[in-house]
Amino acid sequence: MKKMLIIPGLVAVVLISGCLPSIDKKEEVLQDNEQRVEEMVVIPSIQIKEEYYRSIIPFKESASRGYMGSTNTKYDVREAEEGLLRLSLQKFDPKNHFFQEGQFIDETTVKSWLGRKSETNTLGLNPETTDEMTEAEIASQAPSYLARIVEQNYLVLTDEKKLRLAGISIGLSLNSVHYTRSGEETKITKEALEAEGMEMGEEIIRRIRSQEGLKDIPIVIGLFKQESRNSIVPGSYFATTTAEKGKDTPSGWKIVDEEHVLFPASTNDEKYRDLDTSFKKFKQEIDNYFPSFVNVIGRGLYKDGSIKSLSIEIPIQFFGTSETIGFTQYITSLIKDIFPNIDIEASVTSVNGAEALIVKEAGNDEPYVHIYGY
């Protein structure tokens, strides 16, 4: 393990190499937090994939303490965070940037920003309403657009072995459907979602810039479209922009071409046809193996018109260890044969919970297989 010695008065750093295996190597450095108080932190030396950010230790929870706002589904919760990581890769290189949960937008601030603008909440980003407006009028004229705010921070290591803030990413989860108190649905148009989301994003940039020490920090904004409450696929980011250091306004909005598709597909769109055919073949082979099979669900992520990854859920009845092992081996062989050039993650579950996990990277003939409990 590398140790750091701080010499009083000189703020010098001495690194001493030890003899631990590389998997345990880590580097202790200083982080200057927003109060300018120096804290000792650890940077793991292992980076599993080039597109994965390393996180600093100890872990700092979000300043908003994970406040979810009015997120509709668990799928949207996860994808709003993972999708923002993908957007951040375009600006903050994971080779020299480290991830930390957001530290600058606290829970009180998030709640006020997610609220409607009013005399008592001048910071509300959702449109103002009046007592005279009916629920139908609110749904058509002033729906609730903004549902959740996700903040991520990106740090770099200086020559003095100190971590400093180098970037902030903000994801704005926007409702595609407005729900009245009685549960009635009103769809929000794509045009309205884009216009309102971009206006909110630019306002949030101005507000972040007003905080001490954040004037020269690049800010990435992503607009995320949430799906309806009964959706079993997540929404996706549809626009992004960056306010470069020192700028109070973004450099222009860019379209993000990402889409989540459920398989078997309910559309004849040519874009999904080949994968849908392969998925139906996969499902049929499983049905032949397991006559009492329940269902197989696939969720594909398309980026720029091409499939990027496919996650598969395979629920089974639990018949014992040997049958679970045999079935998992069969599933693995099908994945190798039917999906050779797609990133796949397949989970086998029963009423008892997770039974097996199969992970295969595109072009890799040998998938990772884990049977839980063995």
* Closest among 241, 245, 200, 239 to 223, alpha carbons compared: 239
226 and 87 in a common domain: yes
The pLDDT of residue 111 is: 95
Residues 301 and 362 in one domain: yes
User: Do 78 and 136 reside in the same domain of the chain?
Assistant: yes
According to the model, what pLDDT value does residue 24 have?
Answer: 40
The structural domain count of the chain equals: 2
pLDDT at 30: 54
Mean pLDDT in residue range 285-310: 87
Domain edge (last residue) among 256, 276, 310: 256
Domain span at residue 336 reads 261-371
pLDDT value at position 57? 85
pLDDT band at 14 (very low <50, low <70, confident <90, very high): very low
Tens digit of each residue's pLDDT (9 = 90 or more) over 324-347: 899 999 999 999 999 989 999 999
Q: Is 160 inside a domain boundary?
A: yes
pLDDT for 204 equals 98
Mark whether 244 and 299 lie in a shared domain: no
Does residue 189 share a domain with residue 84?
Answer: yes
Here the CATH number for the domain that contains residue 241 is: 3.10.570.10
Clarify whether residues 58 and 167 are in a common domain: yes
Digit-coded pLDDT (tens) for 73-114: 899 999 999 999 999 999 999 999 999 999 999 999 999 999
Give per-residue burial for 173-211: e unless 16+ CB within 10 Å, then b.
bbbbbbbeeeeeeeebeeeebbebbbebbbebbeebbee
The whole-number average pLDDT for the span 162-185 is: 93
Q: What is the pLDDT of residue 33?
A: 53
**110 and 171 share one domain:** yes
Q: Which of 48-57, 110-119, 238-247 has the lowest mean pLDDT?
A: 48-57
Q: Tell me, what's the pLDDT at 85? A: 97
Q: Are residues 110 and 205 in the same domain?
A: yes
Task: For residue 291, give the CATH number of its domain.
Answer: 3.30.300.190
Give me the chain's average pLDDT, please.
86
Residues 223 and 308 reside in one and the same domain: no
